[in-house]
Amino acid sequence: MIDSQTPGSPGWWFKRLAEKQVMRLADLHRLHRYAVGDADLPEGDNRVRETFQTFQRKARSNYVGLICESLLERLRVTGFRAGSDATAADDKDAWAMWQANSMDADIALGFRAALYMREAYLMIGPPDGSAGKYPVITVEDPREMIAEMDPIRKRRPLAVLKMWNDTVVNQRRALLMVGGDFHSYTAPLRDDSTHAYEGFSLDSWQHAGAAKNPAGRPPVVRLPNRMNIDGTCLAEAEDTIDIQDRINNQILDRLVISKMQAYRQRWVTGASFEDEDGNPMEPFKPGADLVWAVEDETARFGDFSQADLTPILSAVRDDVRDMAAISRTPAHYLLGEFINAAGDAFDASETGLVAKAKERMAHFGEAIEEAIRIGYLYLKDSRADAFDSEVQWGDPQRRALAEMADAATKLSAAGVPWRTLMGVLNFTPQEIDRMAAERASDALLASALAPAPALNQNAPQAPTQDDSKPPEEQPAEPQ
């Protein structure tokens, strides 16, 4: 029996975190669906239900996902620096730990989850050989992990719960991290449960054991997106979902109108459509090689005017511009239109996106730095307390190579060191190290292949000795 009544006990934390996750799981699912293009179906007219059902799925567009992805492509971790002072060196051990866990690629999964669903997590475990001698770092889905954050230090978790469906052993499993302990729980696997939190009932769970946590505290950090002062987070495009629904409804209207009026609707007056026996008949069928004729001289033919789709198309473009303004995404990303503007105008159009990317770097960077410190804690390395270390990021501003080279030339003339110039050109620390070695090798090779300096012909020469004359007749050396 799990004790869920004693405040602060493992069972109390387990029940508390699981129930909180149940409350937010539906929202996380919906945010993820919209980000991957699986938005709610637009509403249609019940009078033509079958027609609308045909087009409802085709009417959905995915501007929400585009807003998230346009920011994701600007977030690139390039290295770590041990200390923030002017003499700080690149932390090659931190980068080795990062690469040993494939985080140079997998961190994008965490960023994407945070942009899609408000937050993501990094979990750090002791070395187990899968990352060599380094601790294990994994990216965690917020639909399978939740943390109770310290109300004072909002980046520090008090307790963390990870729950998942283990189809290998046909169980639902949970791992609670609180204080300096790990607690495991298991429950039967439900066939109708996509994630382990759905249909949570404490009675179906049992405690499966406990173990000491070598880190002494929950080894998890949160990647928060758009964090508020109360610690809550927002998905990147969460405040534009209503506009996305509006766009989808307008696109649905356009599709249905286009389909209904693909053939112009015609009318006939003054003609009878019954045969000799009074049975209804269908006398006219459309065709490029057919002529319609009736015997009644009073018959008149005509057609209805087509609906103008221009207002609908204009409304969609206006809504897309609203999404661009609200999300600070350049309009040419969403509209697919680019006017041949000057370079300054193009840079100005991306100012909001670049500023947003730098803000996300600050928050994500704090989490990554803490993950590296926890890794050093497992290794009993003094850098576990290096709170002045920092993450190095690629430049989120897109610049032409000629522009960067011109800036580097001017900075070099002003006395800026070579390694700093390479950073201006957006090379990673690893690339700069390789280039430094290549520069030294090239300089050594050039000096080895350089011709010997020529002798100065104007310099005074020592007199040559004539062995055929006695010493007293040899010319005297110049004084």
| pLDDT at residue 303 greater than cutoff 80 | no
**Same-domain check for residues 348 and 426:** no
- What pLDDT, on the 0 to 100 scale, is given for residue 148? 96
pLDDT tens digits, one per residue of 324-335: 999 999 888 888
Query: What is the Rg, in whole angstroms, of the alpha carbon atoms belonging to the chain?
Result: 36
Q: Cα–chain-centroid distance for residue 290?
A: 58
Q: Quick one: tokens of 218?
A: 């929950």
The residues that bridge with 209 in the sheet, in sequence order, are: 184
How many structural domains is the chain composed of? 3
| pLDDT at residue 234 greater than cutoff 70 | yes
Q: What is the spatial distance between Cα 97 and Cα 124, in angstroms, rounded to a whole number?
A: 11
Q: What is the spatial distance between Cα 70 and Cα 180, in angstroms, rounded to a whole number?
A: 40
- What pLDDT, on the 0 to 100 scale, is given for residue 44? 62
**Same-domain check for residues 227 and 282:** no
Task: Write the CA distances from 54 to 41, 49, 245, 252, 254, integer angstroms.
Answer: 11, 9, 18, 10, 13
Residue 177 resides in a domain: no
One-letter amino acid of 430:
Q
Q: What are phi and psi of 59, to 5 degrees?
A: -80, -10
Residue 187 resides in a domain: no
**Are residues 116 and 214 in contact, defined by beta-carbon separation less than 8 angstroms?**
no
Mean pLDDT value across residues 135-162: 95
| pLDDT at residue 337 greater than cutoff 70 | no
- What confidence category does residue 199 fall into, taking pLDDT thresholds of 50, 70 and 90? low
- What pLDDT, on the 0 to 100 scale, is given for residue 402? 77
Q: Quick one: tokens of 28?
A: 């996380």
- What confidence category does residue 258 fall into, taking pLDDT thresholds of 50, 70 and 90? confident
**Residue 147, helix vs strand vs coil:** strand
Please report which residue ranges of 298-451 form alpha helices under DSSP H.
310-327, 331-335, 343-349, 351-378, 401-413, 418-424, 429-449
**Same-domain check for residues 382 and 279:** no
**Are residues 186 and 171 in contact, defined by beta-carbon separation less than 8 angstroms?**
yes
194, burial (CB in 10 Å: exposed 0-12, middle 13-18, buried 19+): exposed
The residues that bridge with 89 in the sheet, in sequence order, are: 82
Mean pLDDT value across residues 412-436: 79
pLDDT tens digits, one per residue of 355-391: 999 999 999 999 999 999 999 999 999 999 988 889 9
Q: Quick one: tokens of 60?
A: 């959905």
- What pLDDT, on the 0 to 100 scale, is given for residue 420? 78
| pLDDT at residue 248 greater than cutoff 70 | yes
Q: What is the mean pLDDT of the chain?
A: 83
- What confidence category does residue 220 fall into, taking pLDDT thresholds of 50, 70 and 90? very high
Pairing mode, if any, of strands 220-224 and 171-178?
unpaired
- What pLDDT, on the 0 to 100 scale, is given for residue 136? 96
- What pLDDT, on the 0 to 100 scale, is given for residue 450? 76
**Same-domain check for residues 414 and 383:** no
Of 391, 358, 355, 356, the C-alpha closest to 373 is 391
**Residue 416, helix vs strand vs coil:** coil
- What pLDDT, on the 0 to 100 scale, is given for residue 281? 64
- What pLDDT, on the 0 to 100 scale, is given for residue 17? 95
**Are residues 135 and 97 in contact, defined by beta-carbon separation less than 8 angstroms?**
yes
Mean pLDDT value across residues 100-118: 96
Question: Can you give the pTM of this predicted structure?
Answer: 0.79
Q: What are phi and psi of 323, to 5 degrees?
A: -60, -40
Q: What is the spatial distance between Cα 123 and Cα 121, in angstroms, rounded to a whole number?
A: 6
| pLDDT at residue 338 greater than cutoff 70 | no
Mean pLDDT value across residues 338-348: 62
**CA dihedral in degrees (270, 276, 279, 280; nearest 10)?**
-30
- What pLDDT, on the 0 to 100 scale, is given for residue 371? 96
Residue 176 resides in a domain: no
- What pLDDT, on the 0 to 100 scale, is given for residue 290? 66
**Same-domain check for residues 13 and 29:** yes
- What pLDDT, on the 0 to 100 scale, is given for residue 86? 53
- What pLDDT, on the 0 to 100 scale, is given for residue 203? 84
Tell which of 254, 286, 303 closes a domain. Answer: 303
**Which domain, by its residues, includes 413?**
402-445
Residue 24 resides in a domain: yes
**Same-domain check for residues 124 and 252:** yes
The residues that bridge with 267 in the sheet, in sequence order, are: 302
Mean pLDDT value across residues 205-221: 93
**Same-domain check for residues 279 and 130:** no
448, burial (CB in 10 Å: exposed 0-12, middle 13-18, buried 19+): exposed
**Same-domain check for residues 132 and 21:** yes
Q: What is the spatial distance between Cα 48 and Cα 23, in angstroms, rounded to a whole number?
A: 37
Q: What is the spatial distance between Cα 221 and Cα 408, in angstroms, rounded to a whole number?
A: 37
CA dihedral for 400, 406, 411, 416, sign (positive or negative): positive
| pLDDT at residue 241 greater than cutoff 90 | yes
Q: What is the spatial distance between Cα 193 and Cα 462, in angstroms, rounded to a whole number?
A: 101
pLDDT tens digits, one per residue of 384-400: 998 888 999 988 887 77
**Same-domain check for residues 417 and 271:** no
pLDDT tens digits, one per residue of 274-286: 766 667 666 666 6
Residue 130 resides in a domain: yes
Which comes out higher in pLDDT, residue 215 or 122?
A: 122
Residue 463 resides in a domain: no
Of 123, 136, 197, the C-alpha closest to 163 is 197
Mean pLDDT value across residues 431-448: 79
**Same-domain check for residues 235 and 293:** no
Residue 79 resides in a domain: yes
- What pLDDT, on the 0 to 100 scale, is given for residue 146? 96
**Same-domain check for residues 371 and 240:** yes
**Same-domain check for residues 290 and 389:** no
Residues counted in the chain: 479
| pLDDT at residue 52 greater than cutoff 70 | no
Residue 293 resides in a domain: yes
Mean pLDDT value across residues 51-80: 86
CA dihedral for 11, 15, 16, 17, sign (positive or negative): positive
